[in-house]
Structure 1
Amino acid sequence: MQAFVNFWCTFKQLPSAWLLLLQSLMLVLAMFSSYSQSYRVVTWVLGVLALLVIAKVIRQTPVFTFLGLSFVSLAVLFSSLILVGIDQRWVQILAHVFEAFAYFSAAYGLLRYMFEDRYLTLDELFAAGAVFTLLAWGFAFLYSTCQLLIPHSFSLNSMAQQQQWLDLLFLSFSLQSATGLSDLMPLSPLARVLAIVQMFCGVMYLAVIVSRLIALQYIGERKI
């Protein structure tokens, strides 16, 4: 019982760290190409846990609104429908759209949290990393939605209508970090617009968040 209390206290103090941990586990699982039922169950459970942590993050910030929690609830609902075998395209589109909005809501909430605090804390360092991954995951879901709406929106060596999730996630991180390492190219107008928006958001985020963390560190040192 005491161990659970300690765990809950740690979770309440560092929700951003747990969010980063869950996303790291999801990234490791994305390396496997197996799509067995066991694999889908594990990835679904981790996805739901991530959404629940997102709900916790949203509740800790001024962005705690009915709209933000609705995104989380609808994302869980439609991802559950996919898990039980309802793989219709409109269900997948809605699931990915609501998951993207849920991730963006959490990113906005963490940004508000970091900019409202006056001193640099450990959770804010985790929050800085969590916002980056939340944005990358959110855009990856938008890319997945894009290729469901417009087949062949992205090109790779193959002529497949839909690219693998790991390839879309790799594209998202490549564009957001401005490294440009991905061999996946956006082709459709919608895909290219999304890529442009993400490149802009990624560059602006790195510039703003680095300056903010430096300012908080400077304020903390002046306080001492």
Structure 2
Amino acid sequence: MSLNRFASLRWQAIARRHPSAFLLAVQLLSLVLYPLFDQVGGGRVVFGAFGVLALALAVWVVNRSPASTWIAWSLAVPAFVLSLLAVLVRSEALLVASSALEALLYFYAAGSLIAYMMSDHQVTADELYAAGATFTLLAWGFAYAFFVCQAWYPGSFAGAVEPARPRVWLELLFLSFTNLSAVGLGDVVPLGAAARVLVMLEQFAGVGYVAVVVSRLIGLTIVRAQER
């Protein structure tokens, strides 16, 4: 067996065992690369490509969890098609529609990963990766929800820089991460009623995630270490 063939099989085995790690890696890599392409004309297309890969990985992760895969595909396929059409025809309405479907997909994948982590009483390495992937899925899902809210209700968000203009994607994602992690840092604030409700729901989700899922994983890890 050649070295290339062996390496390919090895990566396939790792991918089957730890799909959540790949999803987490793609999400974090897109964050690192986005500022490099933010100011160029194709930046949004490049970020969209990472989004499509993340969507595929989200469906892959859902397939590992006790959830119906067809629901994930019914959200991922139209979201992918609409996002491509939005780029090709430069349609804001299609972009909003694809963002709404992506938000639903990310929430669905996050819920499925939570069910996967809560389904047994032993902590595996993939479940630890899933804990990080679930956090990013929730952050992305609420960011897309903020984007849709801003499109439906103009003026929903304001910022320290040019407060009257609509917030760009990275600003909304930054707001989502600060809310979900409860760090309280940020220069974007919700003004409209719908925006404030979304922010409060995300804050509740962030606190609940740490209190229920993360604390359970930590407790099971400690118990496992003590049994050894």
Same fold (TM over 0.5): yes
Question: 1:79 is matched with which residue: 58, 80, 83?
Answer: 83
Partner residue of 2:148 out of 145, 152, 155: 145
Residue 118 of structure 1 deviates from its aligned partner by 2.0
Following superposition, the deviation at residue 222 of structure 1 comes to 5.6
Q: Could you say what secondary structure the match of 2:77 adopts?
A: helix
Structure 2 partner of 1:34: 39
Deviation at 1:67, TM superposition (A): 2.1
Deviations 1:4-53 (A, max 9, x none): 2211111111111111110111111232432412x333222211111110
Letter of the 2:145 partner, please give it.
L
TM-score w.r.t. structure 2 length?
0.91
- Give 1:49-198 correspondences, 5 Å limit: 49-84=53-88, 86-156=89-159, 157-198=161-202
**Cα shift at 1:220:** 2.2
Distance 1:163 1:59 in 2: 34
Count of residue pairs brought into register by the alignment:
222
- What is the Cα deviation at residue 96 of structure 1? 0.5
Q: 1:166 to 1:40 in 2, by over 3 A?
A: closer
Q: Once the two structures are superposed, what CA deviation does each residue of 1:40-86 show, in whole Å capped at 9, x if it has no partner? A: 332222111111101101111111242222111121111111232x2
Task: For residue 215 of structure 1, report the CA deviation from its aligned partner.
Answer: 3.0
Give the Å deviation of 1:214: 2.5
What is the CA–CA distance in structure 2 between the aligned matches of 1:40 and 1:218, rounded to whole Å?
Answer: 43
Say if 2:123 and 2:217, in contact at 8 Å, map to a contact too.
yes
Q: Work out the percentage of aligned pairs sharing the same amino acid.
A: 41
Gaps of 5+ in 2: none
Worse overlay, 95-104 or 205-214: 205-214
